[in-house]
Structure 1
Amino acid sequence: MVPFITAWSSERAPGFAVVVRDGRIAYADETKRDRDGSGVLWTRKVFSPGVGVPQFKAVHPLRQRRAMERLLCQVCAKPCDKSAVWMLSQREYESAEGPWPAPVMTAHPPLCPGCVERATRLCPHLRNGYVILRPDRIAPAALTGVLYRPTPLGLTPTAATIAYDDPRTRWMRAVQLHVQLKDYTLVHPRDMNVTSPQKR
C-alpha cells in the first residue's frame, strides 16, 4: 500500500524559470494551475502516481495540498469530512505550545478511520509513540518551500517556513501546506480499532 501523498520516482520537477511579475514571483510560462486559491505559487512536479518506484520519504506537493484542503485521507485519498483524524508522533505533539489542548501545527494530512491501523504499522515516524487527534477546527497555518529575496543581482532562493498570512508569501514557491488543529480531543487507539498498544 503506497500512501496517496507519496511521491514516485517518475514525478520529477520539470524545468521552469522564476521571474518577478506584478510585485511577486511567477513562472515565466505560468498557468492558473500553478497557484492555489490564495494566490500562492506552488512547486511544479510531474503528476504520475503509480509509475516508477515510490519515494516513501518524499511527498508530492499537489497531492499533499489537495489532501489538506479537501480533507482527503493521506493514505487512501477518500474524503474524511467530519471523521478526519490526525496522527502525530509523540514528539510532534509534545512540541505544541502551551498546555493541552494547545493548537498543534502539522504538515501531515488527515487520515480516515479505516486507515489508522495501517498507518500505525507502516509509518516509521509513528513507531516511537503517537497520539490521535480529532479537531473541531482546522485552519491553514504556514507554508514550507523556497522563499525568494529580490537583490540587485536577481532572486536569491532560501528554504523557509513562513506563516500562511505572512506578506512574504508572494515571494514563496510552496512545497507543503501546514494546518493548525484547534479544539481537539484525544482519541484512544482502541476507539479506532487499533489493537496494538500506544507506545510511551
Structure 2
Amino acid sequence: MPYITAWSSETASLVTLVVRDGRLGYADETAGDRDSAGVLWTRIAFSPGVGVPQFANVHFLRQRRAMHGLLCQVCGTPCGKSALWMLSQKEYESAEGPWPAPVMTSHPPVCPGCVERSTRLCPHLRDGHVVLRPRRVSPAALSGMFYRPTPTGLVPKATTLAHDDPRVRWLRATQLHVLLEDYDLVRLGGMLVTTKPAA
C-alpha cells in the first residue's frame, strides 16, 4: 500500500478557526499544527492500515513528511540522493517550457526499487510517464483552503499559493509542491533515455 495513501479511518479533524496575530489559526492550536515556516496545516487522523485504503486521497501529513524528508511515496523509506520523481506524460508535457524546464509537482519522490511497481500499479502513470532525477529540489507552493477575512467572517476558497506568498498566513494547507530543477530525464514510458550532458 503506498505510504502516502489515506485510509478510511484517517479523516480531517473538526476544528474551530480563529484569527490570531494577523493570521489564521486554531482555537486550540498546538506547536504541531504548523510547519517550520509557520504554515498552518489541516489536521488529519493518523491510523495507517486501519479501514479501507482511499487510493484517490493523499494523507496530508505523510505527503508533507515525504516531501521534506525525501521519503519514497510508495514504501516510505528515505531516498536520499537516489530520489526519483515519476510524473505522468501529460503532467510533464504541461511544464512551462521544453525539457529541462523546471517542473512543479505535489508528488513525492520514489526510490529506485519502487519505480517498476509504481508503473504497474498506478493508473495515473499507465498512459505514459517520465522518471526524473533532479539535482535541485526546493519548496515551491502550497495547496489548501485559503480563508479571506471579511467583515462578516472568513470566506474559504480552495487554492494553490507560492511558498513565499504572504497570503499563506491565511491558508490551511493540505499539500506541499516542490520545484524540480536541473534534472536528467531517466525514463520516458518504459524506455531508458540518454540523460542531459553535463554543462
Give the structure-2-normalised TM-score.
0.94
**Which position in structure 2 is the counterpart of 1:193?**
none
Whichever residue aligns with residue 98 of structure 2, its letter is P
Equivalent residues in 2 for 1:18-167, closer than 5 Å: 18-167=17-166
Q: What is the root-mean-square deviation of aligned Cα atoms in Å?
A: 1.0
SS across alignment from 2:178:
strand
- Between the aligned partners of 2:112 and 2:132, the Cα distance in structure 1 is 12
Q: How far is 1:147 from its partner?
A: 0.2
- Between the aligned partners of 1:152 and 1:108, the Cα distance in structure 2 is 37
Verify: 1:197 aligned to 2:184, yes or no. no
- Between the aligned partners of 1:188 and 1:130, the Cα distance in structure 2 is 8
Q: How far is 1:188 from its partner?
A: 2.9
- Between the aligned partners of 2:178 and 2:190, the Cα distance in structure 1 is 27
Whichever residue aligns with residue 50 of structure 2, its letter is V
SS across alignment from 1:126:
coil
Whichever residue aligns with residue 128 of structure 1, its letter is D
- The C-alpha deviation readout for 1:173-199, integer Å capped at 9, x for no partner, is 00000000000001137xxxxxx835x
Q: How far is 1:122 from its partner?
A: 0.6
Whichever residue aligns with residue 102 of structure 2, its letter is P
How many residues in Structure 1 have an aligned counterpart in Structure 2? 191
SS across alignment from 2:81:
helix
Q: How far is 1:14 from its partner?
A: 1.7
Check the 8 A contact 2:132/2:187 in 1, yes or no. Answer: no
- Between the aligned partners of 1:23 and 1:128, the Cα distance in structure 2 is 46
Q: Which runs of 4+ in 1 moved over 3 A?
A: none
**Which position in structure 1 is the counterpart of 2:197?**
none
SS across alignment from 1:188:
strand
Gaps of 5+ in 1: 190-195
